[in-house]
Amino acid sequence: QVQLVESGGGLVQAGGSLKLSCAASGRTFRNYAMGWFRQAPGKEREFVAAITGTGSISYYGDSVKGRFSISRENAKNTVYLQMNSLKSEDTAVYYCAGGVRPTTRTVDYSYWGQGTQVTVSS
């Protein structure tokens, strides 16, 4: 069992930056691929980024490529999402998730955090 807790969300102006963190419980964190998803009001949950267990390979959704960066520190059981050049359309609740493979599909992730709100003002 893995428990995930996100932090780092908040209010930021367009063009600014935020760094989200997701702390995981359990000693097997390195065995899990990790992903970040987001969900805006009235919209489906959207893939943002994912990373392999070793951190050697990462993937990004088209809307965040070149602006967001996912990373992890297995020694700290933590995965991060660095968000730069934020836009109003990035406003959403951001969730981290753990799964076997770093896919873009929510159904492939077994463990989810409670989410953290990111609001970008224009």
User: Can you tell me the mean pLDDT for 79-101?
Assistant: 98
Query: Does position 41 have pLDDT exceeding 90, yes or no?
Result: yes
Q: How far is CA 12 from CA 19, 21, 117, in A?
A: 11, 16, 11
The pLDDT tens digits of the residues spanning 59-80 come to 999 999 999 999 999 999 999 9
**Separation between Cα atoms, residue 5 and residue 68, nearest integer Å:** 20
**Separation between Cα atoms, residue 54 and residue 36, nearest integer Å:** 16
For the chain, the average pLDDT equals 97
